Amino acid sequence: MASDSRTGADTASSAAPSTFQWPREYSFPPFFTIQPNKTTRHTQFVKWSALVQSYCAHHRIFKLRVSAAAPASLPGLPNPTGAGGTSEAATTVAAAAANADGGAGDNIAEPAVELFANRRVKRRLFPDDAREVVDYMHRHGAAEWIDETGGGQKDLAWIWWHTPEQWAAMIEDWVDDTAQKGAVLTLYEIAEGEGTRGTELHDLDRDVLHRALKILVNRGKAQIFGSGDSQGVKFF
Amino acid sequence: MLPQNPSADIVAYASRAILDLKIQRDKLHQYQKRITILTNRETEIAKQMLAQGDKKRALLALRRKKYQESLLTKTDAQLEQLEKLTSSVEFALIQKDVVFGLQQGTKVLQEIHQEMGGIEHVEKLMGDTADAIAYQKEVSDMLGNRITADDEDEVEAELAALEAQASGVSVPDNLPNVPNTNLPVQVPEREQQQGASKQPERQAMLAS
């Protein structure tokens, strides 16, 4: 987990079928309103950061699209001033709901609408506030904007519930534990093979895997060879 | 022994070959996943068709499922072949490393033998060593005899002390000093009697 504090958040389990344990503050209505007091706001951001990380870890969400997780309009919940129930927002919500129901698609914000919206207390984090939370996480190393250089509004971010360095360490440990130093491995078998089933490496996002392997390459612990989709890695 | 560079090339070439084999294996795995998904969907379709009373379409779905399962069986066999070949290549690399290790070990051993100077040198060295040991033993024996004699006295003295302790005799601390004067000469009884008879004669002569 990233260095950010996880006060109040339950430890996320890597077992997907288990139920995610929401922290106590998730049921506290003011938690969904950015606080004016500086100290309180900082504590709030720390808790939101921990919640986002543990939620994404539980559901193995590597990339979070803020506009999908915190859409401009949600039926039955408060909306930002001036935001209407546009068809585009409804489509986004429907797509998110479809993903939450197990619909096809990648793992970008699949079940994440509930992350920023608690229907039981009829509160939600507005899109700009959610973006501010992720921006806080970005500044503290718990997230990284993907589309920051695009010039537009930041929307898609890596959520580092494990940093690339931590993933790299896990890969190295797995290679050691399975006595595969010197062996040639494909990226597929690391991320989706039977050898990693039951470990956190299984179903690892391919881009995250690449970043972790590059770290190992820079340390002289691994060598990537091949090109395109036919890449392999050898560990030393 | 293979030169270093050709060996490295062989390793690189083998690594690439293993990678290609494993990638094909992965592709087969992915294909099997797709087939499994399709098979499950055909089963669901068949159930739905039966629920709707369309037995013909249900049968068609099951036939497609059967065909896909046959494809799955074929890919299993192909996958097995790929994995066997991959394992064989990997093991061949290990064998190559073993042979290389043996070669290196043999070379080092031969170099060590050369540094030792050969069997003649070792034999001469062993002879010299034996001679030196014998000489040392002779010297030790000579010195040991004299030292042993001295030590024997000490050992006997110590034994006497131990025997005294064992018998329970306690020696008092304040013993008188040993006298330095000569012992009186002790005259035998015969001489003492002769001396006594001479005394009356002297007395009779004096009386006369």
Chain B residue numbers with beta carbons less than 8 Å from the beta carbon of A229 are 23
Chain B residue numbers with beta carbons less than 8 Å from the beta carbon of A185 are 22
* Neighbouring C-beta atoms of residue A80, cutoff 10 Å: 13
Tell me: do B15 and B71 sit in the same domain: yes
- A230/B15 Cβ within 8 A: no
Contacts 24+ apart (CB under 8 A), B174-179: none
Return all residues near A117 (Cβ < 8 A) that are at least 6 apart. A70, A74, A77, A123, A124, A125
How does residue A232 score in pLDDT terms, banded at 50, 70 and 90? very high
| Residues A32, A55: Cα–Cα separation, whole Å | 16
Tell me: do B144 and B86 sit in the same domain: no
In angstroms, the Cα distances linking B21 to A183, A224, B81, B82 are 13, 16, 10, 7
- List pLDDT tens digits, range A49-100: 999 999 999 988 998 989 899 988 787 887 776 544 443 344 344 444 433 3
- A232/B19 Cβ within 8 A: yes
- List pLDDT tens digits, range A188-219: 989 989 899 899 898 899 799 988 998 999 98
* Domain A164-235 falls under CATH 3.40.50.300: no
Pick among B19, B86, B91 to test the A interface (most A CBs inside 10 A)? B19
Tell me: do B18 and B90 sit in the same domain: yes
- B15/A232 Cβ within 8 A: yes
Position B134 in a domain: yes
- Provide the total of helices (H) and of strands (E) in chain A, helices listed first: 7, 8
Residues of chain A within CATH 1.10.10.10 domain(s) are 164-235
A48 vs A38, more confident: A48
- pLDDT (0 to 100) of residue A76: 81
Position B109 in a domain: no
How does residue A172 score in pLDDT terms, banded at 50, 70 and 90? very high
Return all residues near A113 (Cβ < 8 A) that are at least 6 apart. A68, A69, A70, A71, A74, A93, A96, A97, A100
- B26/A230 Cβ within 8 A: no
Dihedral angle over CA of B9, B15, B19, B21, nearest 10 = 90
Most confident range, picked from A17-21, A148-152, A222-226:
A222-226
Instruction: Determine what percent of chain A is predicted with pLDDT higher than 70.
Output: 77
User: Looking at chain B from residue 154 to 193, which residues have their Cβ under 8 Å from any Cβ of chain A?
Assistant: none
| Residues A179, A132: Cα–Cα separation, whole Å | 44
CA B57 to chain centre: 75
Nearest to residue B71, comparing CAs of B49, B42, B44?
B42
- List pLDDT tens digits, range A95-140: 444 333 333 333 444 357 889 999 878 888 899 899 889 999 998 9
Chain A residue numbers with beta carbons less than 8 Å from the beta carbon of B20 are 230
| Residues B86, A225: Cα–Cα separation, whole Å | 17
Chain A residue numbers with beta carbons less than 8 Å from the beta carbon of B19 are 184, 186, 225-226, 230, 232
* Segments forming the whole domain that contains residue B141: 121-158
Pick among B13, B22, B25, B93 to test the A interface (most A CBs inside 10 A)? B22
Average pLDDT over all residues of chain A:
79
Tell me: do B152 and B91 sit in the same domain: no
A234 → closest Cβ in B15, B20, B23: B15
- Domain total for chain B? 2
- pLDDT (0 to 100) of residue B61: 94
Chain B residue numbers with beta carbons less than 8 Å from the beta carbon of A226 are 16, 19, 23
User: Looking at chain B from residue 38 to 57, which residues have their Cβ under 8 Å from any Cβ of chain A?
Assistant: none
Tell me: do B61 and B145 sit in the same domain: no
Chain B: residue whose CA lies nearest to A232: B19
Position B39 in a domain: yes
B22 → closest Cβ in A192, A229, A232: A232
- pLDDT (0 to 100) of residue B94: 84
Residues of chain A within CATH 1.10.10.570 domain(s) are 24-159
| Residues A209, A224: Cα–Cα separation, whole Å | 12
- List pLDDT tens digits, range B151-197: 667 787 888 888 887 887 655 656 676 676 766 666 665 555 555 55
- List pLDDT tens digits, range A155-171: 899 999 999 999 999 99
Position B144 in a domain: yes
CATH code, residues A24-159 = 1.10.10.570
Average pLDDT over residues A12-41: 81
Residue by residue, pLDDT tens for chain B (208 residues) are 344 456 676 778 788 788 988 998 898 888 888 799 988 979 989 988 889 898 888 988 998 898 989 988 988 898 888 888 888 988 888 888 899 898 889 989 888 887 778 877 888 888 988 989 898 878 888 777 655 666 667 787 888 888 887 887 655 656 676 676 766 666 665 555 555 554 454 444 554 4
Tell me: do B32 and B84 sit in the same domain: yes
A186 → closest Cβ in B16, B22, B90: B22
3-class DSSP assignment, residue A124: strand
- pLDDT (0 to 100) of residue A150: 54
Tell me: do B22 and B87 sit in the same domain: yes
| Residues A186, A184: Cα–Cα separation, whole Å | 7
- pLDDT (0 to 100) of residue A164: 96
| Residues A131, A110: Cα–Cα separation, whole Å | 17
Burial class (CB in 10 A: 0-12, 13-18, 19+), A176: exposed
Chain A residue numbers with beta carbons less than 8 Å from the beta carbon of B18 are 184, 232
- B29/A230 Cβ within 8 A: no
Q: Is the pLDDT of residue A220 over 90?
A: yes
